[in-house]
Structure 1
Amino acid sequence: MTTGLNICSEIGELRKVMLHRPGDELLNLSPDNIGRLLFDDIPFLETAQAEHDRFAQMLRDEGVEVLYLDQLVAEALAANPMARESFVRDYVAECGIDGPGVREAVRQRLEDIDDPLELVEKAITGVRADEVDLASVKDASLADVMEAGGGDENPILVDPIPNVYFTRDTFSVIGSGVSLNRMRSATRRRESLFGRYLFTYHPEYSHVPIWYDPASPYHIEGGDILVLSASVIGVGISERTQPAAIDRLAKHLLWSEKSQVRAVYAFSIPHKRSFMHLDTVFTQVDVDTFTVHPGILGTLKVFSITRGAHEGETRISQMEGTLDQVLASALGLSAVRLIKCGGDDPIAAAREQWNDGSNTLAVRPGTVMVYQRNAVTNDILYHAGVNLLEIPSAELSRGRGGPHCMSMAFWRDAVK
């Protein structure tokens, strides 16, 4: 039986993973709000759920225990009588409502939910104007009047949190501890509440080391964090992760007595939406094999962060060599193999990278989960000897994230 957290690689036998099944939050997406909620299109919920259920069942068929974020957070809230009230207060404080009367009406709507799981689900779904008693708002401020407009002009008081099915991002398991990340976009920052309450109050996870505090002013997201080995992690300097955040994370990991990390490799990737995280441009599929988007080859800068001469200090040095040489050095191997997303076809590479062709989830060395739609890349991986578990992905992929994005591994065995 596995308890606590244990992630010392990206490819060790996967024993326990956390997912979030897409829910009614997707029904609160509309053409008017998808832009600020970081969606390019609106997934069809019924099909997205069927695809996600298939993803979860495929994991179970491989012997993986599947946990769900909403259930874990509900268990955390139920475990401490103070947690539920505090959760509602913190959620309302971060939900973006300026009018004090409307804010109180939303708080009351959430307080009236007795079941912890239903409360968490409502926090994810968002709150519509027709769900609260806006008529009870007295001595309304101008902000209250505008926010309580209701009808077709303002049907949603609290935005949904539709990106939460990408459980990789808001916190990251590293070794036996967790980085509680600060999301770059305001629309995703409420997601950090779930990780904070999970790792504060859940009986199984409340005592794990915390490597990063989301109260930090610098943003960092989990899709940019790859655990290359027990002693080396990679972090992307990306559109969504700042160098100053990597400095803080590295210092904590390198100098904590509870951490095995001895080096942090910072990979500078293009700051653009199609390359939003490190795991959208490369992931590990076997002991010596990675998928990679060819667009980053030849331009990538990599920096090594290690302990400095004095307590708490770090030393920065730019790595020499190509990406495969840097990765081989990080893993202590003579060489690694890079398999190009889309092969040598630039159109296929761009198309399939957009659909997360490089975003794989290893179940064990050499066996990875991929999106079925990336036929060119999958064929190349297959002929390279990689065992593929193909996930249906017509709707899940509309959220701009693949199998690695949709999963947060809690426990992997050591690589043999």
Structure 2
Amino acid sequence: MGFHVDSEAGRLRRVILHRPDLELKRLTPSNKDALLFDDVLWVRRARAEHDGFADVLRDRGVTVHLFGDLLTDVLGIPAARELVLDRVFDEKEYGPLATDHIREAFEAMSAGELAEVLVGGMTKREFLDTHAEPTSVRFHVMELDDFLLRPLPNHLFTRDTSAWIYDGVSINAMRWPARQRETVHFEAIYRHHPLFRDESFNIWSEGQADYPSTIEGGDVLVIGNGAVLIGMSERTTPQAVEMLAHKLFAAGSATTIVALDMPKRRALMHLDTVMTMVDGDIFTQYAGLGMLRSYTIEPGVGDKELKVTDHPPEHMHRAIAAALGLSEIRVLTATQDVHAAEREQWDDGCNVLAVEPGVVIAYERNATTNTHLRKQGIEVIEIPGSELG
């Protein structure tokens, strides 16, 4: 069997991680909001914590592919390099007077240099250190320390930009401009990298071309039995859910989607920040989430039709159980006061990663949630993560 994800709680065999580097060093108090971060991070500590996380995965038998290595590899392939440069250096972004000049400069870089600046960014000053200034209004109005190419610190969160759903991958259209360039990097990797190009798998989406129908991987949980649980958050739209449903159903890869109507708030930006799967019938859930209106989506009579069943909030867990072919699911929520619960949710208390059924990796700072999971029979492997966003 090739690349395939049948359940969030199945045995994890391969993963793509991004080791933080220059792009986090570019994060400042003045740009952190635009780059979707709540604070600046201590980069050296972030790298050490990320290395520790990767080592824990390797110790569990998981093959870890580093995104930076994959991107460097693929930028050495002419078709992939052309795809990336065509998408990044567009006249709508740089203007007709500067685009060709800037693209030629980046085209001349080695694969390693190009990968570094595509993720880490480049200022006007850095560009002028080695290249002539183009005759361009767009270029002239920039301050020397303005970013000619913005850094992409959110590449740290590789789960969001693409999501494997049964026998295919969704290369996602991202909601906010700070993340939209990430998509083209993953598109180049999945279409051209030797690890993937000779494998047979479906591609469920058209990348950023699907915008404004956006979907992010943190909202997508593959729960098994041909079912997918999706949070319609501030970053995942109902129309994107419908488009994904059509693709999955047409291929026969899934039979049911349960879509949750989530609050549109930054603190609850993705479903996996408030609810994750830890075993075949067991989920963690943040108490403050409450019960949500849900929609069961199934194939309709015609090719373009979908059958949609609305459920009131009190039937949320029942809808998920039905999609799994079960009479009920277990939902684990630690007992704590509202303030402590909110703190742990902010610190990703419910955002655990299952590496096999009943075994999860969790941040050590969420002591109450981790203790509760252990009391319920879940093995919890704790890692530090104070600087991992």
Shorter-chain TM-score category? over 0.9
Residue 343 of structure 2 corresponds to 351
Residue 403 of structure 1 corresponds to none
Spell out, residue by residue over 1:161-219, the C-alpha distance to the aligned partner (whole angstroms, 9 max, x if none).
00001001111101121111100001100000111101211233234211111211311
The partner residue of 1:48 within 38, 46, 68 is: 46
- How far apart in 1 are the matches of 2:202 and 2:231? 22
Residue 90 of structure 2 corresponds to 93
Matched, 1:290 2:286: no
In structure 2, what residue type is equivalent to 1:60? R
Residue 302 of structure 1 corresponds to 294
Q: How many residues align?
A: 383
SS in 2 for 1:100: coil
- How far apart in 2 are the matches of 1:238 and 1:389? 28
The partner residue of 2:235 within 235, 240, 255 is: 240
SS in 1 for 2:373: helix
Pairing of 1:2-401 with structure 2 (within 5 A): 4-78=2-76, 80-93=77-90, 96-98=93-95, 100-101=97-98, 103-114=99-110, 116-133=111-128, 136-138=132-134, 140-147=135-142, 149-150=143-144, 154-206=145-197, 207-214=200-207, 215-217=209-211, 218-256=213-251, 259-298=252-291, 300-319=292-311, 321-340=314-333, 342-396=334-388, 399=389
Alignment check: 8 A CA contact 2:223 2:280 kept: no
- How far apart in 2 are the matches of 1:130 and 1:122? 14
- How far apart in 2 are the matches of 1:98 and 1:28? 25
In structure 2, what residue type is equivalent to 1:29? L
- How far apart in 2 are the matches of 1:100 and 1:56? 44
Alignment check: 8 A CA contact 2:258 2:319 kept: no
Task: Using CA pairs under 8 Å that are at least 6 residues apart, name the structure with larger relative contact order, 1 or 2.
Answer: 1
Gaps of 5+ in 2: none
In structure 1, what residue type is equivalent to 2:161? T
Gaps of 5+ in 1: 400-416
SS in 2 for 1:12: coil
Alignment check: 8 A CA contact 1:99 1:143 kept: no
**Residues 1:94 and 1:10: Cα distance change in structure 2 (over 3 Å):** farther
In structure 2, what residue type is equivalent to 1:186? P
In structure 1, what residue type is equivalent to 2:167? S
Alignment check: 8 A CA contact 1:183 1:219 kept: yes
Alignment check: 8 A CA contact 1:105 1:132 kept: no
- How far apart in 2 are the matches of 1:100 and 1:369? 50
Residue 413 of structure 1 corresponds to none
**Residues 1:94 and 1:391: Cα distance change in structure 2 (over 3 Å):** farther
Please state how far the C-alpha of 1:104 moved relative to its aligned partner.
Answer: 4.4
Instruction: Name the % identity.
Output: 38
SS in 2 for 1:190: helix
- How far apart in 1 are the matches of 2:315 and 2:287? 12
In structure 1, what residue type is equivalent to 2:235? R
Spell out, residue by residue over 1:37-78, the C-alpha distance to the aligned partner (whole angstroms, 9 max, x if none).
001101100000000000000000011111112222333333
- How far apart in 2 are the matches of 1:357 and 1:31? 26
- How far apart in 2 are the matches of 1:13 and 1:85? 36
- How far apart in 1 are the matches of 2:192 and 2:276? 32
- How far apart in 2 are the matches of 1:15 and 1:104? 42
SS in 2 for 1:67: strand
**Residues 1:63 and 1:81: Cα distance change in structure 2 (over 3 Å):** same
- How far apart in 1 are the matches of 2:304 and 2:274? 32
Please state how far the C-alpha of 1:332 moved relative to its aligned partner.
Answer: 1.8
- How far apart in 2 are the matches of 1:331 and 1:113? 50
Spell out, residue by residue over 1:235-265, the C-alpha distance to the aligned partner (whole angstroms, 9 max, x if none).
1111001101111010111112xx4200111
- How far apart in 2 are the matches of 1:162 and 1:391? 21
TM value normalised by structure 1: 0.87
Alignment check: 8 A CA contact 2:75 2:115 kept: no
Please state how far the C-alpha of 1:230 moved relative to its aligned partner.
Answer: 4.4
**Residues 1:119 and 1:23: Cα distance change in structure 2 (over 3 Å):** same
Alignment check: 8 A CA contact 1:292 1:339 kept: yes
Residue 404 of structure 1 corresponds to none
TM value normalised by structure 2: 0.93
- How far apart in 2 are the matches of 1:216 and 1:235? 17
